[in-house]
Amino acid sequence: MSDGDDLLRRTAELAVQYLRSLPERPVRGGYDDVGALRAALLTDLPESGEDPGAVIELLAEVGGRAAVAMAGPRYFGFVIGGSLPAALAADWLTSAWDQNAVLYAAGPAAAVAEEAVGRWLLELFGLPPGSGYGLVTGCQMAHFTCLAAARGAVLQRAGWDATAQGLFGAPEIAVVAGAEAHSTLFTALQYLGLGRDRVLTAGTDAQGRLRLDELERVLGGIEDGTPLIVNLQAGNVNTGSFDPLRPAIDLVRRRENSWVHVDGAFGLWAQASTRLRHLTDGVERADSWATDGHKWLNVPYDSGLAFVADAAAHARAMAPPHAAYLQYAPGQGQAPERDPISWVPEASRRARGFTLYAALRTLGRAGVSGLVERCCSLAGRMAERLVANGAEVLNDVVLNQVLVRFHPAGGGDPDEFTREVVRRVQADGTLWLSGTSWQGRSAMRISVSNWSTTAADADRSAEAILRCAGR
């Protein structure tokens, strides 16, 4: 047995020890102070290499102690899922195989696993078969991929080739989004030269849903025939609410040269559940969809997913120019193999398909639906318990997100008190969540997104929150 074998076995043991500790370790992580963490990790680069076993033990000790238990059952921060055991195991194999998912020739199984995952997900989400798909780092890069396809397609219809000519001299594109669109959408627009401050904003309602009268107003101000990209949202990051997708898409479709993009980072997963599918009604009629596997499917980071109904527009925006040394068939459909490079902004990259493959194959349709529904019902359970004990819930809990606000018992400022309760909960360590501001009011955010969260975890967490609120 080589030293390398021993190192890997020991590392697997350390990883398993960490995973076993998840249910009971302080969720906030073990270092309160960046100074201590820097003292432990920020050394000078050694002149000669150190023993691999010692370096791994150090990382396991420091990194493991510092790790925020976001893979565990009582992490409710942002929108962050854990890792299903099969997905994590597939991630280990992904590293061991070290395949470059750039070309079929560089990683044949990586390329075909992506094909399987792409097909399964199109089916699960009820999106048009034959759509293009690409596996990227996260939802932000999925937006980038989809909106690059959108930009190219609406300009092509206006007689302009953005892939070849860029944007200098191109017709203007009108970009519309709801007032509650996620910040990453604007980052993608920023990267694409579409500008994040020139977006035309349609107002939203108390749940953060795009208002149809507002969409109509904004569209009314845009000359017909203008290349147009409208961004809709399935799952608001704070409330979990959904834009009225079907009627909004109907309105946009009256325009001559339009593209509808949907941010479905976690909300698109509602399509997997017959009980929740009414929320995403009409979503399949959009042109592109951005989502990811690292939130609700519970695969390890990173795992973004871009889907584009017009596969040719997708490949036109992403496929690279010819390079003689690459064994690559530009122009999809001309070769029997599918080269991942044609569908994403990256060339060399991790073979992300394997974790998704393992997650989807081990869960099946019923498992994905069950995971999504379970998270939603646990969110509802926590909301009920908090309300029953005097907290205020600001949103309709339609999905897995809950916004909670606390009023101090003896009177006082609920904004400051809510922020204080969030700080106390974070320090307490039973669970972790973050705060936000919702339509001018401070709120605590609860996002239930982990496969391993149980009813007992939800109850224990609600109790800890109430204790921190002095109830």
Ligand X SMILES: Cc1ncc(COP(=O)(O)O)c(C=O)c1O
**By the rule CB under 6 A, 81 interacts with ligand X:** no
Binding residue (CB under 6 A) for ligand X from 28, 74, 151, 182: 182
Segment contacting ligand X by CB under 6 A, of 132-140, 243-251, 341-349, 420-428: 132-140
Q: E strand or H helix at 258, and its extent?
A: strand 258-263
Binding residue (CB under 6 A) for ligand X from 18, 31, 78, 191: 78
Give the integer Cα–Cα distance in Å for 166 and 158: 14
Number of residues located near ligand X, criterion CB under 6 A: 14
140 in helix, strand or coil? Answer: helix
Query: Is residue 139 a contact partner of residue 304, using CB atoms and an 8 Å limit?
Result: yes
Segment contacting ligand X by CB under 6 A, of 133-141, 146-154, 319-327, 366-374: 133-141
Instruction: Give me the least distance between CB of 420 and ligand X, in Å please.
Output: 25
Q: In this structure, which amino acid lies at residue 281?
A: D
Residue nearest to ligand X (CB): 138
**By the rule CB under 6 A, 265 interacts with ligand X:** yes
**By the rule CB under 6 A, 232 interacts with ligand X:** no
Segment contacting ligand X by CB under 6 A, of 86-94, 96-104, 241-249, 258-266: 258-266
**By the rule CB under 6 A, 114 interacts with ligand X:** no
420 Cβ neighbours under 8 A, 6+ residues apart: none
Dihedral angle over CA of 8, 355, 59, 81, nearest 10: -150
**By the rule CB under 6 A, 301 interacts with ligand X:** no
Distance of CA 240 to the CA centre of its chain: 13
Give the integer Cα–Cα distance in Å for 413 and 85: 44
Instruction: Give me the least distance between CB of 21 and ligand X, in Å please.
Output: 26
**By the rule CB under 6 A, 139 interacts with ligand X:** yes
Segment contacting ligand X by CB under 6 A, of 31-39, 86-94, 136-144, 389-397: 136-144
Q: In this structure, which amino acid lies at residue 93?
A: L
Structure token pair of residue 216 = 């109509």
Segment contacting ligand X by CB under 6 A, of 88-96, 203-211, 259-267, 391-399: 259-267
CB-based burial label for 301 (10 Å; 0-12, 13-18, 19+): middle
Instruction: Give me the least distance between CB of 91 and ligand X, in Å please.
Output: 17
Question: DSSP strand E in 293-433: where?
Answer: 304-308, 392-393, 401-405
**By the rule CB under 6 A, 395 interacts with ligand X:** no
**By the rule CB under 6 A, 401 interacts with ligand X:** no
Closest CA to 457 of 394, 393, 399, 377: 377
The gap between the terminal CA atoms of the chain, to the nearest Å, is 58
Instruction: Give me the least distance between CB of 239 and ligand X, in Å please.
Output: 11
**By the rule CB under 6 A, 79 interacts with ligand X:** yes
Q: List residues near ligand X by CB under 6 A.
A: 78-79, 138-140, 182, 184, 235, 237, 263, 265-266, 292, 304
